Structure 1
């Protein structure tokens, strides 16, 4: 029974929000989805899910061998980028820790095999552990995409979905403030209900 429940919560039935196709960082931020009833679907909730998410976006091979530490790094970067998106959308100053995390991710990937030194055989050059290198490259790519989005004209259109409890971000087109048709329908239904139940005032 637990396996069935896990499978049902694995993927929310939501299409990508506006802008996700062009910005991987937007897809990353939207990978933890708040659902009605107080539930959350986390597409990075386990190492296997995180590996699957990265593979779908061309950032890791299917057999990357993701560990919990790697998935945790991905989830941590997601929260820092989410913080920056919220600051930009609401016109507030960015948290220094969020800026530091994104800059750290962008500069973590070595551009060449690093110099190592073995006590017996002496100097040699080598790349980091393959899984660590894959994750670091993915983190750098996602962080750079977030930096590109936040400094582009498109950042003016960055907004949170206007349908509670949804917590996704999108790039607004026109007056649309919803990440999906489902969220738009839910917001319109909530407004209609509020109008019907509003007490009459004389």
Structure 2
């Protein structure tokens, strides 16, 4: 029996999403032609699925709306910082503070623990209730690494309207996908035809 095909909404991953989870997060709200938007984090179940696909949460993490909302909020702060970097503009202080807050929510080193029978040991706390904090910290740290690393010079917004995604530019390509590139070329060709006498 053939499995039903699951339709992937929106375009394929943009260049750089494989290496940078923060880029994938920034691109998880996709503007489509006709004023449509696909939000891959629109519900708690979708947010849980998105995190699970990237190894940031177990399948049964049980995301609630508050968790999905925090993830969407971090996405908007990261998008703001990516836009500032790509356009060469100053960053909003609130966006920088949000990234720093997310990174500092979890310990970066294993903490000292003490078992009454076996004595001291070190462990990274990762209770189920801290899954979201760990995911947010990982995504925020990745965004900080991208913004301060060698890839920052290649960070750009997709050059096809109405697309709102970001990518790491390689060569002269300024589109997040073949579909966006085709749409931009078609729009230019249409504009040239309309301007010809």
State the TM-score, normalized to the length of structure 1.
0.85
Partner of 2:97: 100
Partner of 1:130: 128
Q: Whole-Å Cα distance in 1 between the matches of residues 90 and 155 of structure 2? A: 15
**Alpha-carbon displacement from aligned partner over 1:56-102 (angstroms, at most 9, x marks no partner):** 00000000010000000000000000000000000000000000000
1:13 Cα deviation from its structure 2 partner: 3.7
**Aligned mate of 2:84, from 78, 82, 87:** 87
Partner of 1:33: 30
Say how many residue pairs are matched. Answer: 180
**Do structure 1's residue 161 and structure 2's residue 146 form an aligned pair?**
no
**Do structure 1's residue 140 and structure 2's residue 137 form an aligned pair?**
yes
Q: Whole-Å Cα distance in 2 between the matches of residues 142 and 128 of structure 1? A: 16
Cα 1:20/1:128, change in 2 over 3 Å:
closer
Q: Whole-Å Cα distance in 2 between the matches of residues 93 and 169 of structure 1? A: 18
Pairwise CA RMSD of aligned residues?
1.9
**Alpha-carbon displacement from aligned partner over 1:8-65 (angstroms, at most 9, x marks no partner):** 7xx4241110000000000000000000110100000000000000000000000001
1:130 Cα deviation from its structure 2 partner: 1.8
List gaps (5 residues or longer) in structure 1. Answer: 1-6, 116-126
Partner of 2:43: 46
1:199 Cα deviation from its structure 2 partner: 4.8
Q: Is the 8 A contact 2:10 2:32 kept in 1?
A: no
Q: Is the 8 A contact 2:10 2:30 kept in 1?
A: no
**Alpha-carbon displacement from aligned partner over 1:105-134 (angstroms, at most 9, x marks no partner):** 00011456799xxxxxxxxxxx68623x00
List structure 1 runs of 4+ shifted beyond 3 angstroms. Answer: 110-115
Q: Is the 8 A contact 2:20 2:146 kept in 1?
A: yes
